[in-house]
Chain A
Amino acid sequence: MKCRHFLLSVQALHAGYGGRTILKDVDIALASGEITALIGPNGSGKSTLLRCLCGEMLPLHGEILLEGLPLSRLSAKARARRIAVVPQRPEAPDIRASDMVLMGRYPHLPWHGFISSQDRRKTIAALRAAGASPLAERPVRTLSGGEFQRIMLARALAQEADVFLLDEPASAMDPARQTELFTLLAARAAEGAAILAVLHDINTALLYCDRIVALRSGQIFFSLTPSEVDASLLQVLFDTPFAELRHPCGLPQFSLTPLSSPLPIAEADA
């Protein structure tokens, strides 16, 4: 068992809006070299957790630590140099895709704000790495959902952060693009990045992530490796029956039950 080096961590995190607590007593740690999937039903607090981890939202209790240092002590730019965020529903401004990616260089710009040729080179490299070079000159508003997600990924790459927080980064991507995305994320992880992705597709999460963290009503329900996840846990988590299948590679996969022939899943485990 290799020694895990945690880049971003928090213990006993409580967070909420206007008197309503959404996250209760959440412990989470993102290790360098790992892709962590965050799953859970709608409204379980996944996005809120992401917003706390990137410093956008102040927790009611608990301190986010970036390599042991409180995140709140970092300046906004220093934070953005370490943590890249891909939001779930970013607004599409009236600019070109390459300019959107170029904005990922903002935390690296010097005080006067001028863009250097190095920034442009890194932008082009990020576009190429995300497979988004053909989109570079397109206005962001004309991009499809999946294309926009690739541009947002390129922007995160241009940020050169070592922590990636992605809110459903693949929700609008076709299967080939999803595979490309996770290949890219795995390469970043191999270089030492810590990655957290909110995912709705459990099977994608099981195939491509090193750890599955499930949130349920604002609390950590489980934190397991993909091979440890089973149908009964998912059934409780999502409150709906799942059929367990097995991928040829040996990892578990789960299917919802057809409406016409409900399977007796609940008794399959003991």
Chain B
Amino acid sequence: MNTSQLYTVRRSFLRCAPSVLLCLCWVLSVPLACMFGPVDYSASQVLAALAETVGIPGEQGALSDDSLLLVVGEIRFSRTVLALFAGGGLALAGVAMQGALRNPLADPFLMGVSSGAALGAGVVLTLGSAGQLNTAQGAMLGALGALGLALLLGRADNAVPTGRERLVLAGVAVSTMFGAGVSLLKALDEESVSGIVFWILGSFQGRGWRDLPLVLIPSLLGIALLLPCWRALDLMGLGEEDAAHLGVRVARTRLLALGGAGLLTAGCVSVSGIIGFVGLVAPHILRRLTGQWHGPLMFTAWLAGGLFLLWADVAARCILPGGMELPVGVITSLIGGPFFAFLLSSGRGERR
């Protein structure tokens, strides 16, 4: 069996390569992404500002003015971190959704999280400053409400032990209901329409460090739910019945995966609005690079999703002249759609 063992070693090295590479890119991207923006700063200025923000004492005098610290340390750095977490969360949620529902078209918004968040944000926007909540907090409440409702409606009962379709349909039903709520808000209050529409397009504009807990806490909770079922998700690919033969608790695994994915998505959506494509397509691309196993897949998807959203956000704030910003959701879909189409048309035959 020497050849087989050799094969395993070579393959595991190849499997590691994307993870290592992505880790490297991830670390390098943090300072690099802070260089770009409507205002030009030199690399040394940006690095000094970053060091100051993180708390590493630099040389006195490197920071020529306060605006540098504000722009790089407060705005760009915080957006970088938010984008990395939000994109990673969306991609990870996509992996979990597709694995648990065994549906390549499943995306993080399948369980109605996005419509819930839109409704929550819309209510806050419509009420204006009268409420106690800001948009992000409203979106978070709406997203969690929608997720809970979908899981409740779609939970398996004894008659249907494998309620995969049921969960998907419950998600669709919740999506539709909350979507109708958003439309109602738009119809009732014309002033808030542009606010809601812009929020739905997805953007990191105006987000800062204060929003970090909103994405971080649900993300960590979601990851904590997803991690225990990474190996079980591999077996779910065999089909529910066969996975159960091998000792997988199918209903529990699916609930954990969907709950975790929902929490991750809620965190991302509440700070950035609805960003399409990342959660749907990043898992497909990573599956080609790292294979079917959910361990490496989840890890690389988290890194790659974050990287993608980060650079999409950099593009969003740099493309238009004069400090105008594009919604980042538009960028992700503009790049992602054609790229996905290309992958579909090129790679079908060469799958091993």
Contacts and interface: CB of A to CB of B under 8 A. Distances in A.
B213 interface: no
B205 interface: no
Interface string B226-246: 001011101101110110111
B114 to A, nearest CB: 29
Contacts of B4: 98, 124, 133, 136-137
A18 interface: yes
A208 interface: no
Interface in B152-177: 158-159
Contact of A76 (B8, B242, B249, B351): B249
Nearest to A74: B247
Contacts of A124: 1, 4
A159 B235 CA distance: 14
B245 A54 contact: yes
Interface stretch (A106-114, A169-177, A196-204): A106-114
B192 interface: no
A258 interface: no
A81 B249 CA distance: 14
A120 B11 CA distance: 14
A71 B158 CA distance: 18
Interface string A105-138: 0110101010000001000100010000100110
Contacts of A90: 238-239, 242
A243 B270 CA distance: 75
A79 interface: yes
A91 B245 CA distance: 13
Contact of A18 (B1, B159, B249, B351): B159
B247 A113 contact: no
Nearest to B295: A113
A91 B235 CA distance: 12
Size bracket of the B interface: 20 to 34
B238 A91 contact: yes
Contacts of B228: 111
Interface in B1-56: 1, 4, 7-8
Contacts of A159: 246
Contacts of A107: 246-247
Contacts of A95: 237, 292
Nearest to A107: B247
Greatest chain B CB density within 10 A among A76, A81, A124 is at A76
Contacts of B247: 75-81, 106-107
A159 B247 CA distance: 10
Contacts of A75: 247
Contacts of A120: 8
A192 interface: no
B260 to A, nearest CB: 15
B245 A113 contact: no
A94 interface: yes
A87 interface: yes
23 contacts: A18-B159, A58-B158, A75-B247, A76-B247, A77-B247, A78-B247, A81-B247, A85-B245, A90-B239, A91-B242, A93-B239, A95-B237, A103-B246, A104-B246, A106-B231, A106-B232, A106-B235, A106-B247, A106-B248, A107-B246, A111-B228, A124-B1, A133-B1
Interface of A: 18, 54, 56, 58, 75-81, 84-85, 87, 90-91, 93-95, 98-100, 103-104, 106-107, 109, 111, 113, 120, 124, 128, 133, 136-137, 139, 159
Interface of B: 1, 4, 7-8, 158-159, 228, 230-232, 234-235, 237-239, 241-242, 244-249, 292, 295, 351-352
Given A58-B158, A107-B247, 14 more contacts: A54-B245, A56-B244, A76-B248, A87-B241, A90-B242, A93-B292, A99-B292, A103-B238, A104-B246, A106-B247, A107-B246, A113-B231, A124-B1, A133-B4
